[in-house]
Amino acid sequence: MGSTIDGLVSGLNTTQIIASLMQVERMPEQQLVNQQSATQSLMSVLQTLNLKVGNLGTAAGSLVPDAITGQSAWTATSAVSSDTTRATATAGSMALSGALSFTVTSLATAGSAVSTGSVSATTAAVASGPVLLAQGVVALGFSGFEPGATLAAGKHAVEVTQASAGARLNGATPMAAGTTIAAGGSTLSLFVDGSATATNFTLAAGTYTRDQLAAEVTRATGGVVTGSVNSDGTLRLTGTHEGSVASLKLAGANTDLGLSDTTTVATGTAAIVKLDGNINTIADVTPGGSITLSAANGDSIVAKAAGGLRVGTAAAAQVGVAAGATLDALVTAVNGGNFGMTAAAVQTSPGNYRFQLSSTTTGVASQITVGGSALTGLGAMAELSAGTDTVLHVGSGAGAYDVRSSTTAVKDLLPGVTINATKVDPTTPVTVTVRRDDAAIANQVSGLVDQANSILGYITSNDNYNATTKSGGPLLGNSLAHDLARRLSDAVVGTSASSPGMVGVSLVKDGTMSFDRAKFLAAYAKDPVGTQATITNLATAMASISKQASDPTKGQITTQIKSQQDSIKDLTQRIAAFEDRMTLKQQSLQTQYSNLETMLGKLKSQSSWLTGQLATLPTQQTLNGK
């Protein structure tokens, strides 16, 4: 049955009649819809208000010192460099006030190497098998790497977790501030590396300070041991041969040097080196000596020691190219392996192509070496540029020291400060000063006031009455919003003991807040402790107001939002149920009017039949025989 059933028999506009009747029936529903719309509007306003109050809490929290670290906006600092052409500085959130002077003696650079030989074309064969590349091994104390009996293609990690050290003997008594060695010299007699025969070294005659005498020991021994002075004035002898097999023992006393212990045997320290996580203990570290490093799976690398081994990490990569691989193929294999370096075939002159490697990182750990004899026709690899660290030299006296970084950024030399070196100049000092950043603190206070004004303005714009439309805003008469505005204003008024108005934060006649930046900065400069306390009290109060209102589980605004959501859900269900009833009502009316038309149709049909029947009856004239 269609929805349009205008009466064909009755002539009635039943569609309009039903629509009018349904309009009357739906009048209560419109009240529900209006109520739902108002509730949704209020909920939307409350959600925005809740967000603004949450932002206030964040702004306020930044001005309240952390209970554990003490960090807050009040600890904000700025770092200033005296010479930004040589170094700049940036202060982080944990930076502490202070100053430091230094010179930039080195900038971090990337290591690179190039073959000493060349081939006539990039299609020429240059490899007789896999090629071992290494990066950073020089910084660990190795001069070269060669593949062992087996070494899988791909990356391999090398790490020195314990440095090697030579045997060390300390004098029993301090040396004199000035020592004179008579003609004929003075003898230092030592058993070196377990030898049963003592080795005698003669110190030259002369008058020495402690440091000069220690240097004379190094010279006289030919570098077998190095001499240095301990903080207590005693002499320290350190063997240059490193590892646990190295030893030193005093064969005879020497009063000039304060040496008298002929019993103690000092031994060196073994290096611990990991290859792909497998531990290798290196007992003998001799310059030029070979060291075999083994991995757990049977892989091995044969390394050559340049001197002692030092703690750090390096990387090796076995480039899996086949015998007869061309220069093109080798370059492609290196660049596709993600080995921390890039390869290139460079034409140094017409028809002469060399193999060049460049590190993708900087620092001494970026130094590149190529091991093995797998390269053919290219000769040995020569250093093109050394990988260097950024070095800041601090001081000029005996206590001067260097600070290194693998990049141009030197972090936390001053706690929380990053120094970015930009130019090498060992003769021009740069001073970085870290001081309290009053401007940044003022910005934080201004931000707090802005957040509070955003709340107050939002409440005002939604708490009004439109005389034209005779309607009120969603927050008109809302006690929660009014109470929130009052508490914010009370916090700014403060107390007799702590008045924010004295340090630049005050109420305006229109009910908003104002921030006088100049007044705040002047007050903070004059009384930083008192000013901080006043603003911190204000921030603490606002943080408390924010938490009470916008806490995600029990905040006052949160609770109201939940209540409005429940109301909307209930109204939505009631409207849906009302719609169901209206649908049934409309169907009922349509059925009634359809039945009416049917009945009228039948009556009309009966009327027509009766009319026809009556027409067949004899008239009076017929009965009278006329």
Please write the tens of the pLDDT for every residue from 187-197.
999 999 999 99
- Which range among 46-60, 334-348, 426-440, 594-608 shows the weakest confidence by mean pLDDT? 594-608
pLDDT in tens, 212-240: 999 999 999 998 999 999 999 999 999 99
Which structural domain, as residue segments, surrounds residue 579? 1-76+437-609
What is the Cβ-side half-sphere exposure of residue 602, based on CA atoms within 13 angstroms? 5
- Do 282 and 324 share a structural domain? yes
Pick from 330, 322, 448, 447: nearest CA to 378: 330
Quick one: pLDDT at residue 6? 65
Contact between 134 and 218 (Cβ < 8 Å):
no
- Work out the pLDDT band at 543, boundaries 50, 70, 90: very high
- Contacting residues for 396 by C-beta, under 8 A, at least 6 apart: none
Report the alpha-carbon distance of residue 138 to residue 368 in Å, rounded. 8
| pLDDT of 2 | 44
Looking at residue 255, its amino acid is: T
- In this predicted model, what pLDDT tens digit does every residue of 124-182 receive, in sequence order? 999 988 999 999 999 999 998 999 999 999 999 999 999 999 999 999 999 999 999 99
- Residue 280's pLDDT is 97
- Tokens 């990991």: give the residue: 274
Q: Is residue 614 part of a domain?
A: no
The yes-or-no verdict on residue 400 having pLDDT over 50 is yes
- Residue 437 is encoded by which pair of tokens? 């950043």
Model pLDDT, residue 7:
61
pLDDT for 465: 80
> Count of domains in the chain?
4
Angle at 509 between CA 505 and CA 510, to 5 degrees: 100
- Would strands 265-267 and 271-275 be described as parallel, antiparallel, or unpaired? unpaired
Whether residue 601 sits in one domain with residue 457: yes
Contacts with 271 (C-beta within 8 Å, 6 or more apart), sequence order:
160, 162, 163, 164, 242, 243, 281, 282, 285, 308, 309
Does 465 fall in a domain? yes
Do 303 and 321 belong to one domain? yes
* Alpha-helix runs per DSSP H in 462-511: 479-493
pLDDT of residue 48: 93
Give Cβ neighbours of residue 244 (< 8 Å, ≥ 6 apart).
Answer: 267, 268, 269, 270, 283
Higher pLDDT, 137 or 36: 137
In this structure, the answer to whether residues 72 and 83 fall within a common structural domain is: no
β-strand pairing of 401-405 with 390-394: antiparallel
All residues at 6 or more sequence positions from 604 whose CB lies less than 8 Å from its CB, including other chains: 9
Q: Please give the distance of CA 550 from its chain centroid, rounded to a whole number.
A: 29
Domain for residue 617, yes or no? no
| Gap between the Cα atoms of 623 and 616, Å rounded | 13
How many residues comprise the chain?
Answer: 626
Domain boundary among 436, 464, 498: 436
Do residues 228 and 180 both lie within one domain? yes
Q: What is the DSSP letter of 375?
A: B
Quick check: 378 and 124 in contact, CB under 8 A? no
Radius of gyration of the chain (CA): 46
Average pLDDT over residues 193-218: 94
Are 448 and 564 contained in the same domain?
Answer: yes
- Look at residues 238, 269, 300 and tell me which one is the last residue of a structural domain: 269
* Residue at 116 is within a domain: yes
Contacts for 50 with CB less than 8 Å, ≥ 6 apart: 549, 550, 555, 557, 558, 561
Does residue 5 surpass a pLDDT of 90?
no
Determine the average pLDDT of the residues in 478-490.
Answer: 91
- CATH number at 222 reads 2.60.40
In a domain, 615, yes or no: no
Report which of 534, 163, 146 is spatially closest to residue 374, judged by C-alpha positions. Answer: 146
pLDDT of residue 136: 92
Estimate the crossing angle of helix 479-493 against helix 556-616, to 10 degrees: 160
In a domain, 559, yes or no: yes
pLDDT at 387 over 50: yes
Q: Do residues 565 and 586 both lie within one domain?
A: yes
Over residues 29-40, the mean pLDDT reads 83
Check pLDDT > 50 for residue 3: no
Measure the CA–CA gap between 340 and 581, rounded to whole angstroms: 74
pLDDT of 67 reads: 81
Mean pLDDT across 104-121: 95
DSSP state of 502: G
**Is pLDDT of 626 > 60?**
no
pLDDT at position 11: 66
Q: Among the residues of 75-172, which ranges form H helices? A: 137-140
pLDDT score for 59: 94
**Shared-domain flag, residues 84 and 72:** no
At which of 344, 361, 385 does a domain end? 385
Residue 489 has pLDDT above 50, yes or no: yes
β-strand partners of 316: 134, 156
How confident is the prediction for the chain on average, in pLDDT? 90
**Model pTM score:** 0.68
Q: Does residue 49 form part of some domain?
A: yes
User: What tens digit of pLDDT does each residue of 308-336 get?
Assistant: 999 999 999 999 999 999 999 999 999 99
The SS3 call for residue 624 is coil
Is 413's pLDDT higher than 80?
A: yes
- Same domain for 281 and 223, yes or no, is no
Residues 510 and 605 in one domain: yes
Q: Would you say residue 625 has pLDDT above 70? A: no
Is residue 359 in a domain?
A: yes
- pLDDT value at position 623? 60
Distance from the Cα of residue 277 to its chain's centroid: 28
Q: What is the mean pLDDT of residues 300-308?
A: 93
Q: Is the same domain home to 154 and 226?
A: no
pLDDT interval class at 414 (50, 70, 90):
very high
**Shared-domain flag, residues 532 and 442:** yes
Could you give the CA distance from residue 568 to residue 574 in angstroms, rounded to a whole number?
Answer: 10
Residue from 218, 219, 226 nearest 167 by CA:
226
